[in-house]
Amino acid sequence: MKRSVLIFGIIGAIFIAIGVLFKMMHWPGASIAILLGATALAIYSLLYMNEKLQGSAAGIEKAFIVFFGISGILLCMGFLFKVMHWPGAGVMIYAFFASYTILVILAIFRAANEKDKDLQYKYINNLIWLVGGMLMLTFPTIIRLLT
């Protein structure tokens, strides 16, 4: 199972990179590469979430894993719909931001409730990356609103 999850992730990342390159160069085949890559990454998020839920996850950890998987799927599909100019892209992106916000809140609670200091530092590091990722995704919108 771990191997198939890893394969979906690698294939998805490669196809997204190829698709974006082809799209920027206006070469044929960009749309299908982006479609395959985004779909593979969405399946990767689903399989990764399923794999992590098979373990001994409970409470906040289980909710964190579920929202992590949902956020990954919404991000991939929102990106796909936006690049392909399909209707519903904005709704998926806003749903992703809502899910991502809940994910950050769960990360705060997870870090605050952890007793082990090493694990707490790891959770705080993950939280910093989550907030940084959210800021990077919303930064163009913030700049557009300020100008």
Per-residue pLDDT tens digits for 127-147: 888 888 888 877 777 777 776
Residue numbers of the domain that contains 38: 1-55
CA atoms of 65 and 50, how far apart (whole Å): 9
The reply to whether 90 and 49 lie within a common domain is no
CA atoms of 131 and 127, how far apart (whole Å): 6
The reply to whether 117 and 137 lie within a common domain is yes
Tens of pLDDT, residues 32-76: 999 999 999 999 999 999 998 887 777 888 888 899 899 999 999
The pair of structure tokens assigned to 80 is 């796909």
Are 37 and 16 spatial neighbours (Cβ–Cβ below 8 Å)?
yes
The reply to whether 49 and 81 lie within a common domain is no
CA atoms of 113 and 109, how far apart (whole Å): 6
The reply to whether 12 and 64 lie within a common domain is no
The pair of structure tokens assigned to 84 is 């392909």
Domain count, the chain: 2
Predicted pLDDT at 42: 94
Decide: pTM greater than 0.75: yes
Tens of pLDDT, residues 62-121: 888 899 899 999 999 999 999 999 999 999 989 998 998 898 888 888 888 888 888 888
The reply to whether 80 and 107 lie within a common domain is yes
Please state, rounded to an integer, the average pLDDT across all residues of the chain: 88
The reply to whether 65 and 37 lie within a common domain is no
State the pLDDT confidence band at 25, using cuts at 50, 70 and 90. Answer: very high
The reply to whether 66 and 118 lie within a common domain is yes
pLDDT: which is higher, 14 or 134: 14
The reply to whether 109 and 136 lie within a common domain is yes
